[in-house]
Every structure is written in C-alpha cells, then in structure tokens.
C-alpha cells in the first residue's frame, strides 16, 4: 500500500507537470508536515497516519484565519465553485501584499465561467476598485462597445486582469499606473488557474502590459498584434488596450484592433457580416 507521503509527492509532481507552481497548505496539512519533520529529525520511524489528514484534493483556505502564500486551485466542483475558491484565496494573497506596492482591495475577474473567449487586461483602476469589477470605467465602456460590434455580450465572455489589486501611487486619488513585472508575477498563479478552469478557446490580451505579463513579450503592441501567440496551448491575440483607442482616437488603431477582433471571430467561427468586415475601412 502506498504511504500517504508518497501519495502526496505523486500529487504534487502531477500538479507541477500540469504547470501549477504553488500549493495551498491548510493548517491541518501544515501540522502534519511539521510532525513529519520533527519525527524525521528525532530519528523516529514515521507513523503512517501523520499525513492522513492531508487530502489529495486541494483545500480552499479559510478566508479568515489563513494568509495564503501558496495556491492550489480546486480541481473538483463546478467551474463557478472553482473560481469562487480562487477568489477567496486572492482576497488575502500574501505574495501580492508582501510587495507593499499594491492597494488593499482585491478586484477579481468577472463573466461567464463557460466563456469561449477570455479577455485579459493589466490591473484594476480607480473605478474598478470602487465597484470591485474589472473594466467598468471608461476603458470598460469602450470594451463593451467592441464586444457589441462583434455581436457578443459582456455576459458571454470572461474578463480578467493580470494583477488583482490596483497599483498604488503616492497621494493617490483617481490616478492609475501600470503594474510592474513583479506585481504581475505575484498574481500570475491566479490567471493561470483561471485559464485552466474556464478553458477558453482563445484569449485576447488587451495592451502591451497584459501581453508582457501573460506571454513574456516585450516591445510595442504594433509588433505583437496581427498574429496568434500561445499561452500554454491556448491561442492568444494581442491587441491595443481600449484606453489607447480613447486616447489616440485615430481610425488606424481602431481598424487594427478591429482586424484582431475579426481574427478572433473567425477562430470562434462566429458569423461575420459584410458590414462588420468593412468597419473602419476608408470609404
């Protein structure tokens, strides 16, 4: 019969093989490991029941008593339940808190857990923090317009950000800043887990910062857009951030973004009318 410790190691190796980099340990699991360690140090033979309490199924943390710094997504339950478990862990996510550069309020993703397409932005801003929902400010309005033009409603897609907390600035009021590489790395385990749960057919990375966080790309959006990339096997289209359209207002960026959206519609085999094909083309 396999020892519990071997089962645990098998489980962790399997998780690692599928790209999981963090493991959540609840207090019972920590206690078991502590006891195992003390027994090993004292030279006593390991008692079998020591790790019996460590479930092969990942355990959602108790949001009150836990300060998680390791993450294991639930692998059972509905997608909604799995995303809820992630959300609870994100609330008090120690690697992000430890940076000391992000604000307190966690803004998790929103949308359809069964979505065929997932949109990924960089980080919440003032309005998103206030409403605790991604893309609800001016950039969000623009995003809704883009989705509408594609014939998709906001409820059909899954909307996420690489960073789950608003990046802080000195004397901050309504001003926002881009997240740093370290801030993005601290929250990437959540994005990876969300993609694993939702399993979208494709991802749209909104802006260069999201592309950097998700794909490790550097450079301009102009250089990254117009082709398919891959995040661990899921096709990713990089395009301009909706706020860039608000700033530039230029038809050229609008058309280029629209060409990326047409590619996404083709990938999803969505119907495309002649009118849609002609959006933003010079008359």
* Residues making contact with ligand URA (CB under 6 A): 121-125, 128, 134-135, 137, 139, 161
Supply the minimum distance, in Å, between the C-beta of residue 213 and ligand URA: 10
Q: Which residues contact 3 (CB under 8 A, 6 or more apart)?
A: 46, 48
Looking at the Cβ atoms of 127 and 263, the one nearer to ligand URA is 127
Work out how close the CB of 119 gets to ligand URA at its nearest, in angstroms, rounded to a whole number.
9
Residue 227's CB: how many other CB atoms inside 10 A?
A: 11
Nearer to ligand URA, 32 or 134 (CB): 134
Query: 69: exposed, middle or buried (C-beta count within 10 Å: 0-12, 13-18, 19+)?
Result: middle
- The span from the CA of 12 to the CA of 56, in Å, is 9
What is the DSSP code (8-state) at residue 52? T
What 3-state class would DSSP assign to 174?
coil
Query: What is the smallest separation between the CB atom of 168 and ligand URA, expressed in angstroms?
Result: 15
Run of H or E residues at 160: strand 158-161
Residue number, 24 or 225, with CB nearest to ligand URA: 225
Cβ closest to ligand URA, residue 111 vs residue 121? 121
CB of 104 to ligand URA, least distance (A): 17
Distance of closest approach, residue 128 Cβ to ligand URA, in angstroms: 4
Residue nearest ligand URA (C-beta atom): 121
Of 50 and 86, the one with the shorter C-beta distance to ligand URA is 86
CB 24 within 8 A of CB 59: yes
């Amino acid at each position: 019969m396999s020892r519990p410790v071997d089962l645990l190691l098998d489980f962790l190796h399997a998780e690692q093989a599928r790209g999981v980099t963090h493991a959540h340990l609840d207090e019972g699991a920590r206690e078991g490991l502590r006891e195992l360690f003390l027994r090993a140090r004292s030279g006593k033979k390991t008692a079998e029941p020591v790790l019996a309490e460590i479930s092969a199924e990942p355990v959602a943390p108790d949001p009150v008593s836990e300060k998680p710094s390791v993450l294991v997504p639930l692998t059972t339950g509905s997608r909604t339940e799995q995303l809820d478990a992630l959300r609870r862990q994100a609330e008090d996510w120690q690697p992000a808190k430890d940076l000391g550069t992000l604000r307190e309020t966690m803004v998790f993703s929103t949308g359809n857990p069964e979505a065929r397409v997932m949109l990924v932005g960089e980080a919440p801003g003032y309005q998103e923090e206030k409403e605790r929902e991604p893309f609800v400010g001016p950039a969000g309005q623009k995003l809704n317009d883009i989705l509408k033009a594609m014939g998709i409603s906001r409820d059909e897609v899954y909307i996420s950000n690489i960073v789950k907390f608003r990046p802080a600035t000195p004397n901050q009021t309504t001003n926002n800043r881009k997240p740093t590489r370290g801030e993005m790395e601290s929250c990437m385990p959540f994005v990876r887990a969300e993609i694993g749960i939702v399993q979208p057919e494709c991802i749209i990375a909104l802006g260069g910062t999201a592309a950097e966080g998700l794909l490790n790309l550097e450079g301009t959006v102009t250089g990254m857009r117009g082709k398919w990339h891959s995040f661990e096997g899921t096709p990713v289209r990089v395009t301009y951030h909706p706020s860039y359209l608000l700033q530039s207002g230029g038809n050229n960026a609008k058309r280029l973004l629209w060409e990326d959206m047409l590619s996404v519609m083709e990938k999803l085999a969505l119907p495309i009318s002649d009118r849609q094909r002609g959006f933003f083309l010079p008359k």
